[in-house]
Amino acid sequence: MNVLKLEGTEDTPKIVLDKDNGVFEISGRSLPEDSAEFFSPVLSWLDGYKDEANTETVFNFKLEYFNTASSKLILDILSKLENVDGTKVVWYYHEDDEDMEEAGEEFSELVEVDFEFSTY
């Protein structure tokens, strides 16, 4: 499976999806002009991954900020992860960022995926 790597910018998150090395991460700020278009390759990659997934998938979210449009796509990503056996989401948030902590808690209640919360 090909590695999906998108470098982060001021408005878009860094994304690394690397099956062979077990690296699955979205980090930074997410406020792209067209969230659906930006996240489309991620959703497509996950569609292919679910059929040949690793026995364990630890998906890291290290977001500093995301807009409303991105939150819908994050939920879409989490929904796809529901279909990947052995998946755990690690939701990182800055220790002072209660909003990001609460966002992760809300996502965890909407999907059937194991969540772990961690501060940095």
Q: How confident is the model at residue 45 (pLDDT cuts 50, 70, 90)?
A: very high
Q: What is the pLDDT of residues 66-120, one digit of tens each?
A: 999 999 999 999 999 999 999 999 999 999 999 999 999 999 999 999 999 999 9
Domains of the chain: total: 1
Q: Which pLDDT score, from 0 to 100, does residue 85 have?
A: 95
Percent of the chain residues topping a pLDDT of 70: 100
Instruction: Please report, for the domain that includes residue 35, its CATH number.
Output: 3.30.750
Q: Which pLDDT score, from 0 to 100, does residue 93 have?
A: 98
* pTM value surpassing 0.85: yes
Q: How confident is the model at residue 27 (pLDDT cuts 50, 70, 90)?
A: very high
73 is in which domain, residue-wise?
A: 4-119
**For residue 107, what are its two tokens?**
């996502």
What string of H, E and C letters represents the secondary structure of the chain? CCCEEECCCCCCCEEEEECCCCEEEEEEEECCCCHHHHHHHHHHHHHHHHHHCCCCEEEEEEEEEECHHHHHHHHHHHHHHCCCCCEEEEEEECCCCHHHHHHHHHHHHHCCCEEEEEEC
